[in-house]
Chain A
Amino acid sequence: MRILVCVKRIPMVGGRIVLTPDGGQIDTSMLGFTVSPHEECAVEEAVRIVEAVRAKGGSGEVTVLTLGPPEAADQLRDAVALGASKCVLLETDREWGPIATAEAIAQEARERGPFDLLLFGNEAADSGDFQVGIRVAHLLDLPVVTGIKGLALEPSGSAGSLAGSLPRASARREYRGVEESFELGLPAVVTVKEGINLPRYPSLPGRMRAKKAVIDSLALGWQGEALSTESLRVPTVERRRAELLGRGAEAVPALVALLESLGLLS
């Protein structure tokens, strides 16, 4: 079982986004970096699948890939700490669009493949483009499901086992309060949402492995796209200075009066 997981480095913005003076990008000088929670779950899911395969005597490995700046090696190491074993860094010197990103990933997947399963987050936390996984699936001619909250691999055929012939995947997600499920044969592309699992905390040996992990990097030449950013801005929310109802339990009468005025008390 060979799994490829794709992640994107993003700044860990907290209470408010601050832009650089020229407005061209997010001021990250005071920020740490991470990947989207969806992607963290994708890594965890891949590691769990491979662990299950190994427990049954099979073999497997998780390769984690990112397209981004050299510093994105940190996010690859984070994935190694959770249990990924190989790291691929497609080095770029600026933000890439979804078409070029998908083409670069598909190319890499072909060269390093075949992979039985390609996992992505449902959408990147920053651009929210919602399409890299789907585009990669089309480029590799693989089936794809998105927004998955539950994934189970079942042996295909009676004699099959997770370790032997390729299993089938059964994937679940929610749609307007209804559960949808999909059946698909591997190899396949699956994009997942946070909640599919609860990622583990990296273990001490995991962190040691992460430090020593070999990052296989490849510098890519810029591929422009039809979409180009003109400017960024932080939306002006009226800073409603909250009306203070009081401190501690002394605020309760004011709270009750407010709830009453909102028509919420019978």
Chain B
Amino acid sequence: MTQVLVLVEHDADGLIDSSRRAVTFARGLAVANANSKVAVCVIGEVPTGGAELASAIGRQAAEYGVASLHVVPFTGYAPLAWARALGQLADSLSADAVVAAGTDRGSEVMAHLGAITGEEMVANCFAVSRSGTHEWHLTRQRWGGSLIEEAWLEAGRALLTVATDAIPPASVVEPVAAPLELELEAYEPQLADGDTSVVATESPEQAGGVSLASARVVVSGGRGVGGVEGFSVIEQLAAYFGGAVGVSRAVTSLGWRPHSEQVGQTGTRVTPDLYMACGISGAIQHLAGCQSAKTMIAINTDGDAPIMARADYAVIGDVNEVLPALLEVLRARG
């Protein structure tokens, strides 16, 4: 019996979306290795037994075909301590693969684990298969998903992070032998003093405008907007839809708008229903942040700009002419 251990993250409602995707990825690996099972590791203050959150996580784990659910009781986020705990749990389960979503925390903890053990850690994978005890074939993203790499890993145990945007979350459809709700098994790691010396303090969530990452509509402006003033109409349009303002890196580098609004590989990744790219050329690093939009409209003076090949709809024209005219019509409708 071999196991694939997945580090998952949760919020008040249960497993976060990227973790479900990571579990889906791990299940694919387990299924391909006939005898393998998926174990899940939760680190944090999850009360075991009965409590609502524990029950939600237990149910979701069962739905996703997880065989066992391990909880490391721990207060707060200390990356090194989390990695130590994950590694010890993996050893105790004789896991031959350890997986986490490629989130900030998932990547950080897995990198620490690799550094502790000296093992290779392969980032942003979305397909994996095993051939022989020490050989893994991996498919992973480079350049934020603009380039795909096929690679071989020679290792007894694989440490992988998952490119979650490439794997849709899928629960097991057929009824499984697993119970409807998995019991949480507590696991106590042996931590050294230094493991908790770097620990996060969380400040309360800031109430503010619509968060860019979760906005349903994003109206984005690029260098083609022409200057700071041009963003006034972009702001008004975004507000009209109850959405958020996005920008390209050209705009943040010029100091026109803050980096918190930047969409892309080194900015925020957005997944709106509608993405309006106004005066944005469509560099791959920008697209890396908005290609999951359901519908994309591009407004650009250049009909041959790369964005035109990636958008669903296009307007060829000057943003400073099209957007004010659009806003006027929308306002007139009330």
Contact = CB atoms under 8 A, between A and B. Distances in A.
B134 to A, nearest CB: 9
Tell which of B102, B206, B316 has the most Cβ of chain A within 10 Å: B316
Contact of B326 (A147, A243, A256, A264): A256
B241 A244 contact: no
A94 interface: no
Contact of B266 (A26, A38, A144, A256): A38
Contact of A242 (B198, B308, B318, B325): B308
B251 to A, nearest CB: 12
Interface in B160-202: 161, 197-202
Contact of A252 (B124, B143, B326): B326
B102 to A, nearest CB: 8
A145 B198 contact: yes
A182 B314 CA distance: 45
B186 to A, nearest CB: 25
Given A194-B267, A264-B241, A128 B329 contact: no
Contacts of A126: 142-143, 147
Nearest to B134: A226
Interface in A170-186: 173, 175-184
A194 B202 contact: no
Interface stretch (A51-59, A79-87, A233-241): A233-241
A147 B108 contact: yes
A198 B198 contact: no
Contacts of B241: 264
A237 B296 CA distance: 14
A contact residues, range:
35 or more
Interface stretch (B23-31, B37-45, B112-120, B228-236): B112-120
Nearest to A183: B201
A246 interface: yes
A229 B266 contact: no
A228 B206 CA distance: 44
A237 B310 contact: yes
Given A181-B200, A181-B203, A17 B284 contact: yes
Contacts of B306: 14-16
Nearest to B254: A198
Interface stretch (B53-61, B87-95, B257-265): B257-265
A130 interface: yes
Contacts of B146: 13, 17, 234-235
Interface in B134-149: 137-138, 141-149
Contacts of A258: 297, 313
A231 B138 CA distance: 11
A227 B258 CA distance: 38
A241 B249 CA distance: 25
B253 A198 contact: yes
Interface string A209-245: 0000000000000000111111111110101111111
B184 to A, nearest CB: 22
Given A16-B284, A131-B114, A179-B202, A239 B309 contact: yes
A98 interface: yes
Interface string A237-266: 101111111111101110110110010110
Given A232-B147, A265-B333, 12 more contacts: A125-B143, A128-B124, A139-B115, A193-B266, A226-B153, A229-B149, A233-B147, A240-B311, A249-B322, A255-B322, A258-B313, A264-B241
11 contacts: A14-B306, A128-B123, A131-B115, A135-B114, A144-B198, A147-B108, A235-B145, A241-B309, A246-B316, A246-B317, A258-B297
Interface of A: 13-17, 26, 36-38, 97-99, 102, 123, 125-131, 134-135, 137-139, 143-147, 173, 175-184, 193-195, 198-199, 225-235, 237, 239-249, 251-253, 255-256, 258-259, 262, 264-265
> Which 5 A-B residue pairs are closest in the complex by CB-CB distance?
A195-B259, A15-B306, A131-B111, A242-B314, A138-B115
